[in-house]
Structure 1
Amino acid sequence: MNQLITSWGAYDLTRFPEDPRDPLRAWSAADAYLLRHLAGETEPAGETEPAAETGEAAKSVDLSGAVVVVGDRWGALTTALAEHRPTLITDSFLAREATRANVARAGVAPDAVRLSTTDDAPPSRIDVLLVRVPKSLALLEDQLHRLAPALHAGTVVVGTGMVTEIHTSTLDLFERIIGPTRTSLARQKARLIFSTPDPERDAGPSPWPRSYVLDADSGAGSGLTAVNHAGVFCADRLDIGTRFFLRHLPTGRGAAGGGPHIVDLGCGNGVLGTAAAVADPEATVTFIDESYPAVVSAEATFRANAAASTRAEFVAGDALSAVPAGSVDLVLNNPPFHSHQATSGATAWRMFAGARAALRPGGELWVVGNRHLQYHVKLRKLFGNSQVVASDPKFVVLKAVKRDR
């Protein structure tokens, strides 16, 4: 647990799912910098640099109107500003649940904060827009397009991010979609972005979602149409790991008496689960991702390709926590090795452990990953077995079977 000290109070914040062994804190210098700016503070604790050198006057921001926070990674901004009844817009199930837990821990009434997702209709009016710059430039572009109609000439727009996250292309998006844009000086490797809404500026609709057709070298996915909403991994073309997996996709894994229950875990745009559904229309496929845009993309991909009679479910959640134990025949998984820009094996471990719990005896987990990640070690610890199905110099496809114990 990491305490964030602000003008509104001190907050004990955690990531989600909460893990006391996790050394990563639930807020960043970029969050702290933005909160200081909103409160009219000019220096971090312990610094005495004159205000004039920060590039910003020491004046607090009026938060009495409609406050919208976009992309708050673990709820630090939303929790600190809870007395101003902000609306959080997030693309992440994990970020949403972390915010919910952190707000409750702070003793704030549940209805003080509105938790919204990128799938929901945007607010009709925004007086203060606070943007935590995301890793995905496409996601930022989509969100600015969607929110721009709710801005007015008096709207205060402030973005924040670490210096390594803010590029010329980032500023160009704010400038093109919102209005005149400038940045602050860097503080503790963080920077602020200030945009002034231009009522005459009309950047038009968002260019997302996009789609493309998988080529003949895509194995079981050949000829499928992939639909991608902003922020989804490899939105413009099929990534090489998934392509390799599609060439070795398993089929015919159903239990006796019916089609198999297949889970596309960490589904992204859903091409793995959709390819499995096209190969076996009797299957029931569950698509799961912690990203709301990914789940929406997976459903669009599935609807564009699979038979209308094929059963499917689309879930935004944490690994397989929402799937009943012993109910799954096959799990397909291309796990990420990072979570919100933090490189970690924890996500893969949680996915593998969840798969073992969800699988019926004899059920199989199939995984693709970079060879150097050594997923076979984790699988052997959890399942007691791991078999190489296919490999090339970069990737490996592994299979683990749930045994009766």
Structure 2
Amino acid sequence: MPDPFFDQLRRAPDVEAPDLVAVDATDRLLLDEAAAAIAVHPDGVLTVDDTHGALTLGAVALHGATGVRAHTDLRVAELALAANAERTGVQGFTVLPQLDATGARVVLVQAPKSLDALREVAEVVAAGADPSVTLFVGGRVKHMTRAMNDVLADSFEHVHATLARQKSRVLVATGPRPGPSSFPRVAEHPDLGITVAAHGAAFAGTKVDIGTRALLRQLPAEGPGVAVDLGCGTGVLAVALARAGFAVLASDASAAAVASARETAVRNGVADRVTVTRDDALAGVEPGSVDLVACNPPFHQGTTVHAGIAERLFEAAARVLRPGGRLLTVYNSHLPHRPALQRLVGPTRQLSRDPKFTVTESTRR
């Protein structure tokens, strides 16, 4: 149903497309289910992973919340929240660089994709929020499982599900049971000689996914110069590049990835050669300042496959590479990325290919 307030919201600077929306049924259901709790505790609202600002701005504009605190894992979500706040004129919220639930009484969460990400949110809320806190976790029914209830039950006494509406559902948790955090988790990979640390929302967790392994095999053995691990995740490529002699910038839009990559660099003894930053598509990097970029780009926007996500990273790589600099990219072999790489970066050649993954090298014009 159209809503004059929500109709003002946009995804920008996130990818815009007809099948991608700024406000979904889950946002609306979360706000409706939490309305009574917000009315009782208007100054105790925390939003988590609010993708484009609907939860944060809606809590203020529609339900009278004051001093809302918002933490989003993705930097682009922060930027979209700021843009929508300016567009709508809504104020009365602050953005948290790290998740901090201290004193929160009402917590609204867009359900993350992984159970580990949900577990870390639940642990942080249970440990820091007011004992009276109510945690609302919303998602599309097709992506919600019984295991999510179980994860919440590890940190809360009572968990129940609301009735579904427009194919969305909300899990409600009360009675926090504070305990020690189980993150970051750490795993050794003797075959690679790398120790990986991972927070809950970091892609692949403590595993090294097969795409990253394919790209690792194509990295230069030595390389004085400046290299970027673009979309660094847990920092595996950054460690390998640092060991090869590069000064490395590891960049990711995810706060969980950045925290993970920093810890991974420390545990592998290369923290002095790896600078880790949270950034949206290398916005803070000078044009033409980089010799090599390594990238294992995502191809999902939430649960939607969209080529525009990877192409934003290819454009970023082209901007920061010096003429003659190289972009090494790994991607699923069925994806048509090579024409985009040639168009956005420069001449592109295949380094390896198997039924699952292709690795290419693009040279900046």
Out of 371, 388, 393, the position equivalent to 2:333 is: 371
Aligned twin of 2:95:
115
Distance of 1:88 and 1:400 partners within structure 2: 39
Aligned twin of 2:68:
86
User: Can you give the 5+ residue segments of structure 1 that lack an aligned partner in the other structure?
Assistant: 41-58, 217-221, 254-258
TM-score, structure 2 normalization:
0.92
Q: How far did 1:152 drift?
A: 4.0
Go from structure 1 to structure 2 and tell me whether the alpha carbon gap of 1:309 and 1:99 turns closer, same or farther (over 3 Å shift).
Answer: closer
Secondary structure of 1:80's aligned partner: helix
- Give matches, 1:5-404, under 5 Å: 5=3, 9-18=5-14, 23-39=19-35, 61-82=39-60, 83-84=64-65, 85-109=67-91, 112-117=92-97, 119-120=98-99, 122-197=100-175, 201-202=177-178, 204-216=179-191, 222-253=192-223, 259-280=224-245, 283-307=246-270, 309-310=272-273, 312-403=274-365
Q: How far did 1:19 drift?
A: 5.5
1:99-148 C-alpha deviation (Å, 9 max, x unpaired): 11111211023xx111113x35x232112122221112111101111111
Distance of 2:17 and 2:77 partners within structure 1: 19
Partner amino acid, structure 1, of 2:3: I
Q: Out of 265-274 and 94-103, give the one that drifted further.
A: 94-103
Aligned twin of 1:44:
none
Secondary structure of 1:173's aligned partner: helix
Secondary structure of 2:154's aligned partner: helix
Distance of 2:331 and 2:256 partners within structure 1: 22
8 Å CA contact 1:151, 1:197 repeated in 2: no
Q: Out of 264-273 and 151-160, give the one that drifted further.
A: 151-160
Distance of 2:151 and 2:16 partners within structure 1: 38
Go from structure 1 to structure 2 and tell me whether the alpha carbon gap of 1:332 and 1:153 turns closer, same or farther (over 3 Å shift).
Answer: closer
Partner amino acid, structure 1, of 2:188: V
Aligned twin of 1:256:
none
Secondary structure of 1:154's aligned partner: coil
Distance of 1:165 and 1:309 partners within structure 2: 41
Go from structure 1 to structure 2 and tell me whether the alpha carbon gap of 1:293 and 1:309 turns closer, same or farther (over 3 Å shift).
Answer: closer
Partner amino acid, structure 1, of 2:243: V
Partner amino acid, structure 2, of 1:69: T
- Seq. identity, %: 34
8 Å CA contact 2:227, 2:247 repeated in 1: yes
Go from structure 1 to structure 2 and tell me whether the alpha carbon gap of 1:180 and 1:365 turns closer, same or farther (over 3 Å shift).
Answer: same
Q: Out of 83-92 and 325-334, give the one that drifted further.
A: 83-92
Distance of 2:271 and 2:43 partners within structure 1: 46
Go from structure 1 to structure 2 and tell me whether the alpha carbon gap of 1:147 and 1:18 turns closer, same or farther (over 3 Å shift).
Answer: closer
Distance of 1:370 and 1:329 partners within structure 2: 25
Distance of 2:260 and 2:38 partners within structure 1: 40
Q: How far did 1:196 drift?
A: 2.3
Secondary structure of 2:232's aligned partner: coil
8 Å CA contact 1:277, 1:306 repeated in 2: no
Secondary structure of 1:234's aligned partner: coil
User: Can you give the 5+ residue segments of structure 2 that lack an aligned partner in the other structure?
Assistant: none
Structure with larger Rg: 1
Runs of 4+ in 1 over 4 A off after TM superposition: 18-23
Secondary structure of 2:95's aligned partner: strand
Distance of 2:126 and 2:272 partners within structure 1: 40
Partner amino acid, structure 2, of 1:37: E
Q: How far did 1:159 drift?
A: 2.1
Q: How far did 1:177 drift?
A: 0.7
The alignment of Structure 1 onto Structure 2 pairs a total of residues equal to 361
8 Å CA contact 2:6, 2:54 repeated in 1: no
Partner amino acid, structure 2, of 1:398: T
Distance of 2:9 and 2:301 partners within structure 1: 17
8 Å CA contact 2:43, 2:68 repeated in 1: no
Q: How far did 1:18 drift?
A: 4.8
Go from structure 1 to structure 2 and tell me whether the alpha carbon gap of 1:287 and 1:78 turns closer, same or farther (over 3 Å shift).
Answer: same
Q: How far did 1:187 drift?
A: 0.6
Distance of 2:6 and 2:216 partners within structure 1: 49
The two structures, once aligned, show a CA RMSD in angstroms of 2.1
Go from structure 1 to structure 2 and tell me whether the alpha carbon gap of 1:66 and 1:307 turns closer, same or farther (over 3 Å shift).
Answer: closer
